[in-house]
Amino acid sequence: MSILNKIFGKEKSDRSMTVYVAGPLTTSRNGKLVSRKQRERNVEKAMQAGLEVIQKGHWPFIPHLNYYFSEYIDESLDVRDYMEWDFAFLDKCDAMLYLGPSAGADEELERSKNAGRKIYYDVRDIPEYEKE
């Protein structure tokens, strides 16, 4: 059985978590826009972290994938629109995985702290989900 069938073939339980993956995407901590190549590396890093969350038996939400929405579908949304979109999902997640600083990730981190959400700074610290 594949890891995806093993994980997604089950229903979400009280012990598996939804994990919001936060980290740099389009800007650095000082708000400076990064290159397209760096944005794509940031998306790849977030997707890799999301895969590791899946392998631990949890459900990741990877807002970095919205980059492709703006890049290929619609450029009319601004950064605040994306942050509000992301907050709608962040507020439903059990935990956050913080990959590193940026203006947006730091705002998401602060929101998570204020909500009392569990915050992980390394994917290795996320506990494995063991199906009973």
pLDDT tens sequence across 55-78? 999 999 999 988 877 777 767 778
Give residue for tokens 């979400």.
12
Q: Binning pLDDT at 50, 70 and 90, where does residue 121 land?
A: very high
| CATH number of 90's domain | 3.40.50.10400
pLDDT band at 1 (very low <50, low <70, confident <90, very high): low
8 A C-beta contact, residue 119 and residue 109: yes
In a domain? residue 43:
yes
**Portion of the chain with pLDDT greater than 90, in percent:** 58
Whether 108 maps to a domain, the answer reads yes
* Residue 70 near residue 78, CB atoms below 8 Å: no
In whole angstroms, give the CA distance from residue 19 to residue 129.
Answer: 13
| 42 lies in some domain | yes
Contact indicator for 34, 24 with CB cutoff of 8 Å = yes
Q: Is residue 60 part of a domain?
A: yes
Cα of first residue to Cα of last residue in the chain, in angstroms, is 17
Would residue 127 count as lying in a domain? no
Q: Are 22 and 97 in contact (CB under 8 A)?
A: yes
| 132 belongs to a structural domain | no
Q: What percent of the chain has pLDDT over 70?
A: 83
With respect to residue 101, please indicate whether it lies within any of the assigned structural domains.
yes
The total domain count for the chain is 1
Model confidence at 48: pLDDT above 90: yes
Per-residue model confidence (pLDDT) at position 2: 57
Chain segment 89-110, per-residue pLDDT in tens: 999 999 999 999 988 999 999 9
In a domain, 39, yes or no: yes
Q: What is the pLDDT of residue 28?
A: 64
Residue 114: what pLDDT? 98
Which residues is 21 bridged to in the sheet?
Answer: 97
What is the spatial distance between Cα 60 and Cα 63, in angstroms, rounded to a whole number? 10
State the average pLDDT for the chain.
86
> What does the CA dihedral 19, 122, 64, 16 come to, rounded to 10 degrees?
-20
Q: Which two structure tokens, joined as six digits, stand for 96?
A: 């956050």
- Tell me, yes or no, if the pTM score tops 0.85: no
